[in-house]
């Protein structure tokens, strides 16, 4: 079965490449996290923080070029690493900062989208727009007995502008991700926490430089604002009710990679 799937994928790839051309890319990624949870009075309950070298991984992408002004793009991001936790024991009244520790994180993000560009005759500029679907998963392991998993699908749209000059390309992109049925699961609870919302606004500054005919070097800075709203009440085995509180995350990414063109 796996051989048949792989062969089918190769045949499809060959057909697509023959029709319009393909691009394959891979980037090394570092993520800086600034995550905070809040009570109903907007006081901080707990937080997670890291530097770019603490959470690392890779992003792979495949892009089918329909023509000079449109493409279909697939991306997968996978990163993991530690954050510094500041908070308190669950259910205690000790207050923020009474407990410090280390949280292990895994973040996976998948997207499939259609992108367009409309070239302008002014200053080598192109106007960009795109729409697509995505899936996000965040595994937050505060300890061996306290693991939280956030996940949701999303509708994604972006607009931006790109500047081209000889072998150099630079762009400014703004993307909005609307979360669909976001949930959080946690150890000790038999039911999922149904989150009110989970939306992301992302600003990207990608740069690209053509080294050879079929090879580009790439780098990008990405700023990401994530907003999650309070969940419904979920009860543990003892009948105690809990909610997943409001939270925000100000995440930053640095990406360095290469793109092969065929």
Domain carrying residue 108: 22-261
- Residue range 60-73: average pLDDT? 94
* Residue 11 pLDDT > 70: no
Question: pLDDT tens for residues 170-191?
Answer: 999 999 999 999 999 999 898 9
Q: Is residue 17 assigned to a domain?
A: no
- Residue range 231-238: average pLDDT? 90
Please answer whether residues 26 and 59 qualify as being in contact, where contact means their C-beta atoms are separated by less than 8 angstroms: yes
Q: What is the CATH number of the domain that holds 238?
A: 2.40.128.100
Q: What pLDDT, on a 0 to 100 scale, did the predictor assign at position 1?
A: 41
Q: Is residue 12 assigned to a domain?
A: no
Distance in angstroms (rounded) separating the CA atoms of residues 48 and 139: 13
Whole-model pTM: value is 0.89
pLDDT greater at residue 156 or residue 7: 156
pLDDT band at residue 252, thresholds of 50, 70 and 90?
very high
Q: What pLDDT, on a 0 to 100 scale, did the predictor assign at position 6?
A: 40
Instruction: Give 238's Cβ-side CA count (13 Å radius).
Output: 4
> Burial of 237 by CB count in 10 Å (0-12 exposed, 13-18 middle, 19+ buried)?
exposed
Distance in angstroms (rounded) separating the CA atoms of residues 82 and 106: 9
pLDDT greater at residue 129 or residue 238: 129
Q: Is residue 8 assigned to a domain?
A: no
Q: Count structural domains, the chain.
A: 1
- Identify which of 224, 121, 123 has the alpha carbon closest to the alpha carbon of residue 173: 224
Q: Is residue 53 assigned to a domain?
A: yes
Q: Is residue 1 assigned to a domain?
A: no
Q: Is residue 133 assigned to a domain?
A: yes
* Phi, psi values for residue 79, rounded to 5°: -135, 160
Q: Is residue 106 assigned to a domain?
A: yes
* Residue 18 pLDDT > 70: no
Q: Is residue 186 assigned to a domain?
A: yes
Distance of CA 188 to the CA centre of its chain: 27
Please answer whether residues 229 and 197 qualify as being in contact, where contact means their C-beta atoms are separated by less than 8 angstroms: yes
């Amino acid at each position: 079965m796996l051989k048949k799937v792989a062969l089918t994928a190769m045949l499809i790839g060959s057909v697509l490449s023959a029709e319009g051309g393909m691009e394959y890319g891979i980037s090394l990624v570092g993520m800086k996290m600034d995550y905070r949870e809040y009570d109903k009075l907007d006081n901080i309950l707990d937080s997670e923080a890291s530097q770019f070298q603490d959470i690392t991984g890779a992003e792979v992408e495949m892009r089918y070029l329909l023509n000079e002004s449109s493409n279909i793009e697939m991306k997968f991001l996978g990163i993991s690493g530690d954050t510094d936790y500041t908070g308190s024991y669950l259910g205690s009244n000790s207050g923020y900062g009474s407990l410090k520790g280390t949280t292990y994180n895994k973040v996976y993000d998948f997207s499939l989208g259609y992108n367009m560009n409309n070239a302008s005759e002014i200053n080598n500029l192109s106007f960009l727009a795109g729409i697509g679907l995505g899936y996000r998963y965040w595994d937050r392991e505060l300890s061996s007995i306290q693991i939280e998993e956030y996940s949701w699908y999303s509708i994604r749209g972006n607009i931006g502008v790109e500047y081209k000059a000889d072998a150099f390309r630079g762009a400014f992109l703004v993307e909005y991700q609307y979360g669909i049925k976001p949930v959080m699961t946690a150890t000790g609870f038999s039911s999922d926490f149904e989150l009110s919302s989970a939306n992301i606004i992302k600003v990207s500054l990608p740069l690209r430089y053509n080294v050879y005919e079929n090879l580009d070097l790439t780098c990008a800075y990405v700023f990401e604002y994530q907003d999650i709203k309070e969940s419904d009440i979920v009860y543990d085995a003892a009948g105690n009710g809990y909610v997943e509180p409001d939270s925000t995350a100000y995440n930053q990414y640095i990406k360095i990679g290469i793109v092969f063109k065929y």
